[in-house]
Amino acid sequence: MIYKEFFPSLTLRNDIRCFWTGGASSHLVIPDGCLDILFQFREGILFSSFLTGAMTRSLWVPNRGVESLGIRFQPGCAGRFFDFPISDITDRVIPLESLWGQKAKEWEEHLMELHSYAKRIEFLDRELLKLKTESKWEFRFFDWAWREAGRLSVADMARELGVSRQHLRRLSLAHSGLSPKEFLQISKVHRLSEQGACRFQEEDWGFYDQAHLIHQFKKYTGLTPGKYFQRPWQKETWSPSQENESF
């Protein structure tokens, strides 16, 4: 199944980045500051559902014949749908049933009754609208940090937002599970991974030098930039343990 993204309804677009489908092939997942809910299917049977916290390291997913339906929350917005501290689940995977109990079972049963991903996405969109709670805090930091791709420092952003660095840190951890510095670094590396090697001018992205760029890129992707853009995970025989190369 080819990876595809689908827009949520207009009412949810500030909260949900996308619904997505994909799987049944090896792939590398790198941090993007988002939380995801995943429903996993094998031969049409839903066998697993869980919430993934914000990631601070990459994850290689080998081909196991699994297809996934996902909900990707906008950075800082998942807390509108859950009643626990988002910072508690950073780098963790939590079964949906342990969070929502009977509601998770009902979702799974209903998803199994629907026989197309389009219908399943419509169902999830409606259910998320029922769960959403309003927040008075505007998640401007995350939108801004992502758009600027981490070019601004935490001090710069705190000053522009009119808050102290300590207060910004508390807000960022509470709503995303990541510190402002970590979110800025993840935004920067993720955006670089989408640009291509030809756009790697370290001074344009706030790195001190090329060594700093390579270190940060490998920290979050597990690969140097040169190796990353060769897409080695697309080879069935590849594993992350093989990587020990320079730019």
Q: What is the DSSP code string of 54-78?
A: PPSS-EEE---S-EEEEEEEPTT-G
pLDDT at 242: 57
Decide: 22 and 65 in contact? Cβ < 8 Å. no
Decide: 177 and 86 in contact? Cβ < 8 Å. yes
Pairing of strands 27-29, 36-42: unpaired
pLDDT digit string, tens, across residues 174-226: 999 999 999 999 998 998 888 765 555 555 667 778 888 889 999 999 988 88
pTM for the structure as a whole: 0.89
pLDDT at 245: 43
Q: Any idea which residue has 């791709």 for tokens?
A: 149
Domains belonging to the chain, first-starting first, are 4-131 (no CATH), 140-222 (1.10.10)
At 29, which helix (H) or strand (E)? strand 27-29
pLDDT at 157: 87
pLDDT at 60: 85
Ranges of the chain whose pLDDT falls below 70: 24, 135-139, 149-150, 196-205, 234, 236-247
Query: What are the φ and ψ backbone dihedral angles of 98, each rounded to 5 degrees?
Result: -70, -20
Q: What is the 3-state secondary structure (H, E, C) of 105-154?
A: HHHHHHHHHCCCHHHHHHHHHHHHHHHCCCCCCCCHHHHHHHHHCCCCCH
pLDDT at 21: 96
